[in-house]
Structures are given as C-alpha cells and as structure tokens.
Amino acid sequence: MKVTEHIERAKGNTLFSFEIIPPVKGRNIQELYDNIDPLMDFNPPFIDVTTSREEYIYIDKNGLLDKKLTRMRP
C-alpha cells in the first residue's frame, strides 16, 4: 500500500510510522527484527527500512578525531 493511501484511510487521524536502518553488512538479520518488535505496540501503518550510502566512524587520535568511511550501500 502507498503512503498516500495510508493517509487517506486515516481520515484526519494522526499516523505514526518508523524509519529504521538495517544491521551493518555481515551482521544477523535478527537485529532488524529485534528493533521492529517493540515498535509493533504502536500499530504503525508501515515501517520503512532504509539504507545509508556511507557510514563514518570517528577515531580519537590524541585529542583529534579522524573520520573513516566504514561501508557503502547501494
């Protein structure tokens, strides 16, 4: 179902949806399910699983931070 259809069906009521980022490549899919399960209490019309193109980590080097690219996703 499209987002616009959810909005139409809400008939003016407030809807809550969630956007989550999947686990880092190589990690267990169970992490995704573990993040979604508590959200189901809110009965969201949809949950968007998105990806990020780049992820950076910052490494402390004697008081200075060094930014390092850790992964790329299509």
pLDDT in tens, 21-44: 887 777 888 988 998 999 999 889
- For the residues 34-62, what does the mean pLDDT come to? 85
Give the model confidence (pLDDT) of 60-69 as tens digits.
998 899 888 7
**Listed residue (70, 24, 12) closest to 32, CA to CA:** 24
Phi, psi angle pair for 37, to nearest 5°? -50, -50
Q: How far apart are CA 46 and CA 48, in angstroms?
A: 6
Instruction: Tell me which residue has tokens 């950076």.
Output: 56
> What domain range is 66 assigned to?
3-72
- Contact assessment for residue 57 and residue 68, using Cβ atoms and an 8 Å cutoff: yes
The domain total for the chain is: 1
